[in-house]
């Protein structure tokens, strides 16, 4: 399989609502393997199908916590959100070079299928809970900047565009993406 390319802000693929996976087969597992590769290469902690131009409800996550080795979520559904929220720095592999404080629920319960079609349920908190909310958003065409005020969003988009212009002219090194999905 050809190497997967990450779609960047402005790509219509990022705004489409992804389709439910109906068959978990080798083709899907090849896609998943490619998604892990693309995520690690970009130094991200999560990646969703639409971010590689594939309109399928598939996520890969690795927040590098010992208690939670990397895992795949197919057709994930958030079945419970905690009562508390918190703001923390968040970035996105599809909008590299910028980040913002985003309010998310501190705990989340998700149900999904793994790459072998086995259903599982996971209660997550902290960075993992944030990452799951960020990635599930991608399946519905939602980006982290959509959670910001209109003013903050337009400032961030402006900054992103100038960052991209500088990068294209080769005048700047991109800092490694941290906590990006
Ligand atoms: Zn993202």
Q: Contacts from 170-177 at CB under 8 Å and sequence distance 24+? A: 174/96, 174/97, 175/97, 176/43, 177/42, 177/43, 177/44, 177/91, 177/93, 177/96
What residue numbers bound the domain in which 32 lies? Answer: 12-168
Confidence (pTM): 0.93
**How many A from CA of 89 to the centre of ligand 1?**
13
Question: Is residue 30, in this structure, part of any structural domain at all?
Answer: yes
> Would you call 89 a catalytic residue per the annotation?
no
Please name the residues in contact with 64: beta carbons below 8 A apart, sequence gap of 6 or more.
45
> Exposure of 134 by Cβ count < 10 A (0-12 exposed, 13-18 middle, 19+ buried)?
buried
Question: Is residue 163, in this structure, part of any structural domain at all?
Answer: yes
167-176 confidence digits (pLDDT tens): 888 765 555 5
Report the distance separating Cα 160 and Cα 140, nearest Å: 22
pLDDT at residue number 37? 97
84-140 confidence digits (pLDDT tens): 999 999 999 999 999 999 999 999 999 999 999 999 999 999 999 999 999 999 999
Question: Is residue 24, in this structure, part of any structural domain at all?
Answer: yes
Q: What is the mean pLDDT of residues 150-176?
A: 83
49-83 confidence digits (pLDDT tens): 999 999 999 999 999 999 899 999 999 999 999 99
Question: Is residue 74, in this structure, part of any structural domain at all?
Answer: yes
pLDDT at residue number 174? 54
pLDDT at residue number 34? 98
**How many A from CA of 168 to the centre of ligand 1?**
21
What CATH number is given to the structural domain containing 87?
3.90.45.10
Question: Is residue 174, in this structure, part of any structural domain at all?
Answer: no
**How many A from CA of 136 to the centre of ligand 1?**
9
Number of structural domains the chain divides into? 1
């Amino acid at each position: 399989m050809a190497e997967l390319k990450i779609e960047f802000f402005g790509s219509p693929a990022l705004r489409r609502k992804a389709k439910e996976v109906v068959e978990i087969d080798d083709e899907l597992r090849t896609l998943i393997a490619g998604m892990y590769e693309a995520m690690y290469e970009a130094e991200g902690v999560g990646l969703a199908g639409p971010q590689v131009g594939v309109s399928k409800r598939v996520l890969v996550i690795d927040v590098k916590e010992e208690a939670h080795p990397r895992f795949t979520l197919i057709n994930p559904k958030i079945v419970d959100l905690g009562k508390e929220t918190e703001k923390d720095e968040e970035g996105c592999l599809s909008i590299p070079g910028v980040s913002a404080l985003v309010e998310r629920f501190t705990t989340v319960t998700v149900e999904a299928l793994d790459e072998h079609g086995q259903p599982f349920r996971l209660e997550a908190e902290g960075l993992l809970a944030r990452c799951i909310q960020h990635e599930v958003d991608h399946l519905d065409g939602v980006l982290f900047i959509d959670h910001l005020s209109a003013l903050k969003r337009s400032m961030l988009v402006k900054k992103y565009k100038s960052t991209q212009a500088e990068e294209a002219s080769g005048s700047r090194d991109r800092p490694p993406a941290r906590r990006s999905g």
